[in-house]
Structure 1
Amino acid sequence: MIGKGKAIAHTQASVAYGWNQEKGAEVVFKQELVGDSPNEITQEFKMVQDQNYHCQKNTLSFVISPTIEDGKRLQQKDFEMICKRFLKEMKLEQRQAIAFVHNNKEHAHIHLYVNRIDFRGVAYNDSFIGKRSQYAAEKVAEQLQLTTVKQVQFEKQFLLKEVRQEIKRRHELSLKQFTPKNFESYIKAMQNNGVKVLPSINKSGNIQGFRFEFNGYNLKGSEVHRSMTGGNIGQRLYGQSNSVIKNIAPVKVLDKAIPLAPRLALSIVKKVAKRVVKHSIDAGIGI
């Protein structure tokens, strides 16, 4: 579960957004308030806020987002409990507050609005409110046995590691199975093995590298493995002939020939030349 928070000045517009019926809004929590419209709620907030003329951003706005899976099984009473626990963690229990759940998207989430001014006219200290909101959401998630941000991050990292390994495996398989000798044939070989290779084109209209799309992930070559940068792939492709190359032909993308960026082309030429020289030296001394 993720928590975000900030102090705002536009109370009525924010409450109206929270109450938007087009977003499937549902009031799940109300405290120290009786109004039934954004205008009425704003007026009730203002009656208390008028005690403190120095505070301009006098309303606190929070967004509390359970994971998609948690959101699907939560009922109104559960969302109400989340709001109560969150306010307690933030030390905002004795204040005017109202919360809505938006159900217009797959990802149900809470919009919670709290009067920053208490009944004594004292403004709530909003220092580091963003970080404190996240910490409070983590605590509430743990208390209610909901998925925390740390758990989500761990799962993403675990899945990303598996995806990277699988792309790398299919990369090696494509090189071995189809023995491509240029980028065009390499892209086709990878596509045959279920990985889409997307050229990264710079502002000059040249290819400066490649991205790999697989199983919903889109990663740069260097993010997959250091051996899968444009230069290292080019060395594998163009270095098979054991002869120094002078230039590399443009890559055809959607029937359009796009040249490699000069830096990438030069990197490949240097890598291949170095490999050829080493091969020649090794052959000459009988290694």
Structure 2
Amino acid sequence: MIGKVKVNQSFGAMCQYVLQEKTPDKGAEVLAAHGVRTDSAAHMATDFDAVRAMRPGLGKAVLHVALAFPAEEKEKVTNEVMGRIAQDYLRGLKIDPENTQWAVVRHYDKDKTHPHMHLVVNRVDLDGQTVSDQFIRSRSVDVCKRIEQEYGLIVADQVGRKQALEIGPTPAQAKATTPKEEQSAEWSRARQDIGRALSYTAGQARSFDELREALRPRGIEVELTRRKDGSPAGVVFEQDGHRVKGSQVGRAYSAGNLETGFAQVRELGHDPAQAWQQVGQDYALAKLAAEYGQAKGQQASKEPGKQQSRGFEMGD
């Protein structure tokens, strides 16, 4: 399970997106909600904004999480299970689902084989307190791991280096006959793994610190050097003892280009209504599905523990 976290400004734009009112052919189904109406995007946004008004100084009050599962989990991840996972995810982030407005909507895009849902949460709870977004991306990774274990789901971290081993050796690894060649081939494998991880983390990070938080759970460390004026001089990624320069992964991952990308993400964060931002997010989810599809093996299935049935409060 992968959780892609965004903190945005506009409930109006977000509710229109998750309910797919402008593109009903794509298919959207409200699975559960608390404290908001679900009959229309306008009503849902109005309810969110009414509580948000208690904290008028909070610019980004919209917490949006896209939770995606591999296609192999399609039968296991039913609507009822998704609803439970959404509330467990909130509790994992220390958000009380009984004292916070939220809605979870499943999308049925025809061009995507993997099940996924969108969770919209008000960062102002029903007591008028602000829900913290500090380190929320790294916290989300930890919560997703716990949910995977609890529900017996495929472990997302295995999509990285372990999945690559399941797929088989790279051509360089297959041809290696000497220790030097094997070492070179292993470095190439690490470079590929790092590139795969950067492909869906660098685009949403706002700084090197955020990128470091996103990569560390995947076993990748970030080493940054700066010039005297504070600008980034170079970046090195390390996995399993293999050091790879950002420019060796790809031109887009050099220190300077990453810094430029971070600035763009920070700037775009002030206008979440941009339609292409949502398209970009969907592209990332499609990319995730493709990565899952490459794996030839699956994690040994585990029977999920007995889940306590929880009632859902639907909007009026």
Give the TM-score normalised by structure 1.
0.56
Pairing of 1:102-141 with structure 2 (within 5 A): 102-104=107-109, 105-141=112-148
Q: Distance in 2 between matches of 1:154 and 1:101?
A: 30
CA contact (8 A) 1:86 1:140 kept: yes
Output one character per residue of 1:104-153: Cα deviation in whole Å (capped at 9) or x when no partner.
11122111000110112111111111111122111111111111222333
Pairing of 1:42-81 with structure 2 (within 5 A): 42-81=45-84
* 2:146 partner SS: helix
Taking a change above 3 Å as real, the CA distance of residues 131 and 152 of structure 1, as seen in their structure-2 partners, is: same
2:89 maps to which residue? 86
Taking a change above 3 Å as real, the CA distance of residues 133 and 23 of structure 1, as seen in their structure-2 partners, is: farther
CA contact (8 A) 2:30 2:38 kept: no
2:188 maps to which residue? 223
Taking a change above 3 Å as real, the CA distance of residues 221 and 52 of structure 1, as seen in their structure-2 partners, is: closer
2:174 maps to which residue? 168
The structure number with the bigger radius of gyration is 1
Identical aligned residues as a percent = 24
Letter in 2 for 1:103: Y
Output one character per residue of 1:131-187: Cα deviation in whole Å (capped at 9) or x when no partner.
111221111111111112223335413135x23268735x99xxxxxxxxxxxxxxx
Letter in 2 for 1:152: V
CA contact (8 A) 1:4 1:134 kept: no
2:312 maps to which residue? none
Tell me the CA shift for residue 221 of structure 1: 12
Tell me the CA shift for residue 36 of structure 1: 1.1
Output one character per residue of 1:73-94: Cα deviation in whole Å (capped at 9) or x when no partner.
3211011111011111112222
* 2:113 partner SS: coil
Output one character per residue of 1:203-256: Cα deviation in whole Å (capped at 9) or x when no partner.
xxxxxxxxxxxxxxxxx998379xxxxxxxxxxxxxxxxxxxxxxxxxxxxxxx
Q: Distance in 2 between matches of 1:224 and 1:115?
A: 41
- Counterpart selection for 1:98 from 100, 103, 107: 103
CA contact (8 A) 1:72 1:108 kept: no
- Counterpart selection for 2:30 from 27, 37, 52: 27
* 1:120 partner SS: coil
CA contact (8 A) 2:173 2:186 kept: no
- Counterpart selection for 1:37 from 4, 17, 40: 40
Q: Distance in 1 between matches of 2:186 and 2:94?
A: 47
* 2:128 partner SS: coil
Tell me the CA shift for residue 16 of structure 1: 1.2
Q: Distance in 2 between matches of 1:123 and 1:54?
A: 11
Length, aligned pairs only: 176
CA contact (8 A) 1:67 1:107 kept: yes
Tell me the CA shift for residue 35 of structure 1: 3.7
CA contact (8 A) 1:6 1:129 kept: no
Q: Distance in 1 between matches of 2:134 and 2:189?
A: 39
CA contact (8 A) 1:59 1:116 kept: yes
Q: Distance in 2 between matches of 1:100 and 1:155?
A: 31
Q: Distance in 1 between matches of 2:42 and 2:93?
A: 26
Q: Which of 1 and 2 has higher RCO (CA within 8 Å, sep 6+)?
A: 2
CA contact (8 A) 2:8 2:63 kept: yes
Tell me the CA shift for residue 52 of structure 1: 0.6
